[in-house]
Structure 1
Amino acid sequence: MIEYRLATREDNQKLLDLTSNSGMAGNMALRIDRFPNFFALNKLRGKTYVYVAIEGSTIVGSICVSDQEVYINGNQTPLFYISDFKVAPSHRNMGIGLQLTNEVVKYLESKDADFAFLNVSKGNKRPFVFFSDRKNYPDFENIGIFNIYQFIGSNKKQVHSKYQINQAIASSEILQFLNNYYSKHELASVIDNNKIEKTQLYEVREGDQLISVMCLIDTMDLKQNVVIKMQWHLKFALSVLNSARTFFRLSKLPLEGEPIKMLYIKYFAVKSKDPKLINELISLARRITFQKGYAFVSLSLHEKDGLNQMLPKGIRFTFQSVGMLVSMKDSKMKMKGIKEGIPYKDYSIV
């Protein structure tokens, strides 16, 4: 018999086991491990509840829901982020996924929730089944594709530039700059000190005016991305790059089944849309990645974000995911504004 309840700290190892046995299907099969503490990443997501399905002493399914405060149509609005939706391969097609989502819906109803968001790998159709045809509520809607760029770490020498990039510390000025920038994006989290306290901050100024802020975060102690299956041409490309990495001063790239050592560009706020400045910020992030012995630095942008066309075209890999959003109160005008705007998602916490 399957039982459903909220997870406790004592469930940590069982949740880690479930995660290790449950990959994400898609154009590239990925597993996101959470060693050593499954619950640690949730602190970055916001107040999070973890629902589990248990058979005997084994956790055979999970789903998380996190309370976040985000910008929708320029206004601060509650958003509920649904993640870690997993069912053990041995227990699929038994209704467990549906019942787990029922637990989340009951929680959302208790919070009088409107907007809920989930993210799936492009090509992964399975979650759509569990969130469709639910009575009394609209279906989740596709709000577009997110491009997840992974730039290879590089020790290429810095060229002379008119811009000076300096390391910075968290300040009210930086928080205001970031919130002013991201308030123009849909679903971007309201940024406070907790969001940037564990990041490396870099700023660019013209005179006294702040024109750019980049935040790097290392989440390897919270999650580890493992590619469990990749297409043959990616395997070939990685093999070629690894054989030539010393000559080109590039980071060592992971093989199939190995954890991907990765930094994330958590925030990339550029007031001056100068491709040279954007290139120099990415180049700095790549040097830091190389110096740490990591493989990639990752940046995610919605397909409609103009920065997509300004990023350096050098060696990089691009993966895609799909953003799915529902308005449980059928707030049509707000949904329309979100679809017409540029959504944002922080992939360091996915």
Structure 2
Amino acid sequence: MTTVVEVREYDPSKDLATVEDVERRCEVGPTGKLSLFTDLLGDPICRVRHSPSYLMLVAEIATEDKKELVGMIRGCIKTVTCGSKTLDVTTKPLYTKLAYVLGLRVSPTHRRLGIGFQLVKEIEKWFNQNGAEYSYIATENDNHASVNLFTEKCGYTKFRTPSILVNPVYAHRVNVSNQVTVLRLGPSDAESLYRLHFSTTEFFPRDIDSVLNNKLSLGTFIAVPRGSCYGSGFGSWPGSAKFLEYPPDSWAVLSVWNCKDSFKLEVRGASRLRRVLAKTTRVVDKTLPFLKIPSIPAIFQPFGLHFMYGIGGEGPCVEKMVKALCGHAHNLAKEGGCGVIAAEVAVGEPVRRGIPHWKVLSCDEDLWCIKRLGEDYSDGSVGDWTKSPPGNSIFVDPREF
């Protein structure tokens, strides 16, 4: 019997149920770790549809009497910062057109047949047709099958190893330091602040305005010392340019993205005893919230999350400012009914120690692999970005988390 694999564009009118079935049968990561559970909206393409350009492909096996959908892949393209150049006394970002591969799934009963490789090559054809200069993927460092596919068969190289930091959302509200004032910035002010301060950070999206104005963006927040001219409760926000020209002694910023309305997660593989203990902590925390018990949320069933991105700041007390913002983000997530809040930062990120997280839920090394698809046509010569050394920071686009 002859088996033929056909790769074509996803058709929601006929593929939705089958794609959901393959998703359910595919574990993302080893048992006991966070894994993608389901798409809340019933839209398998939702994790890329907020990007400027995106595509989802499916693989079908055709036999003599039927066709069976056995795999899928998603991809998107955007323009990001890949470096910087100095002109006179100013530093300008260098941009490149970058593609991102995510959501590669192959049915467990049809693996080791080259289907994953064929899906990657087909999505790369679309990347090339649309002028992408680089392509990258993110996978767990210990996901050997995925790492081998991309590095040994598809020509990708290991590039960056950021950390995913995950913290539970407790039944009680987290206290935000009374020595810190948290201000909310409008999308326009947030865009200005990010472009002025973060635009030379690797992976910074050129369309940051689209991110900040997206309906899933819950706001941008800045922390300043209470008692400073910006935290005294008097006057008004002077604008991002003036703020950066005359900043307080220490400050920090972050934005919050509502992943809950795109997908849900689930922790699998926990014993019955652990589940009972987790539920006990929640009951006690909910009954006696003033005790501030660090309870374990209901993560053994589908739950939502909020993602913190654009995290940064300056000053000797920047970690304290970041911690206050994370506390504010926690309380937003509690109001939103989420199970956890998460962030992804570079290993050398200066503000990393200010981000609360539980090690058991976090990932020390999320591996990013990259491939050069063609010549670099960025605004200025950056050389081969794949060979550049890592910096202290990266900008993680929430649309791709």
TM-score, with normalisation over the residues of structure 2?
0.76
Between Structure 1 and Structure 2, how many residues are aligned? 345
Any idea what SS the aligned residue of 1:174 has?
helix
**Contact kept in structure 2, 1:54 and 1:60, CA below 8 Å:** yes
Match of 1:220 among 227, 244, 260: 260
- Code of the residue aligned with 2:181 in structure 1: it is Q
Change (3 A) 1:347 1:21: farther
Distance 1:314 1:96 in 2: 36
Distance 1:12 1:327 in 2: 33
Aligned match for 1:300, one of 331, 334, 344: 344
Is 2:10 the counterpart of 1:7?
yes
2:310 aligned to which of 244, 253, 267: 267
Contact 1:20 1:33 in 2 (8 A): yes
State yes or no: 1:50 paired with 2:101: no
Provide the residue aligned with 2:77 in structure 1. 67
Preserved contact between residue 165 and residue 357 of structure 2 (Cα < 8 Å): no
1:278 aligns with 2:297: no
Q: How does 1:131-280 map to 2 (within 5 A)?
A: 131-134=150-153, 138-153=155-170, 154-161=172-179, 163-171=180-188, 173-197=189-213, 198=215, 199-201=217-219, 202-204=221-223, 206-207=229-230, 208=238, 209=243, 211-230=251-270, 238=278, 241-242=281-282, 244-246=284-286, 247=288, 248=292, 253-256=297-300, 258-272=301-315, 274-280=318-324
Offset, 1:253:
0.8
Residue aligning to 1:113: 132
> Structure 2: where are the runs of 5+ without partners?
85-93, 231-237, 245-250, 377-382
Residue 31 in structure 1 maps to residue 40 in structure 2: no
Distance 2:152 2:114 in 1: 15
* Seq. identity, %: 13
Q: Kindly name which structure, 1 or 2, has the bigger radius of gyration based on alpha carbons.
A: 2
SS in 2 for 1:285: helix
Q: Give distance in 1, aligned partners of 2:280 and 2:200.
A: 41
Q: Give the counterpart letter for 1:132 in structure 2.
A: T
1:65 and 1:111 map into 2 onto residues whose CA distance is 12
Asked whether the 8 Å contact 1:266–1:348 carries over to 2, the reply is no
User: Unmatched 5+ residue regions in structure 1?
Assistant: none
Assess, with a 3 A threshold, how the Cα gap between structure 1 residues 259 and 253 changes in structure 2: closer, same or farther.
same
Q: 1:324 aligns to what?
A: 369
Distance in 2 between residues matched to 1:309 and 1:139, nearest whole Å: 31
Q: Distance in 2 between matches of 1:229 and 1:288?
A: 29
Contact 1:140 1:324 in 2 (8 A): yes
Cα deviation per residue 1:200-257 (whole Å; 9 max; x = unaligned)?
222346543265432212122211112233589976874564354233265661243x
Structure 1 residues 38 and 125, CA gap change in structure 2 (3 angstroms): same
Alpha carbons of structure 1 residues 284 and 132: separation in structure 2 relative to 1, 3 Å? closer
Matches of 2:358 and 2:37, distance apart in 1: 27
2:341, 2:70 → 1: CA distance? 33
SS in 2 for 1:85: strand
Q: 1:188 to 1:32 in 2, by over 3 A?
A: farther
Structure 1 residues 70-79 or 82-91, which shifts more?
A: 70-79
Native 8 Å contact 1:181 1:269 kept in 2: no
Q: Distance in 1 between matches of 2:147 and 2:252?
A: 38
* Change beyond 3 A, Cα 1:324–1:139: closer
The residue type paired with residue 108 of structure 1 is F
The residue that corresponds to 2:233 in the other structure is none
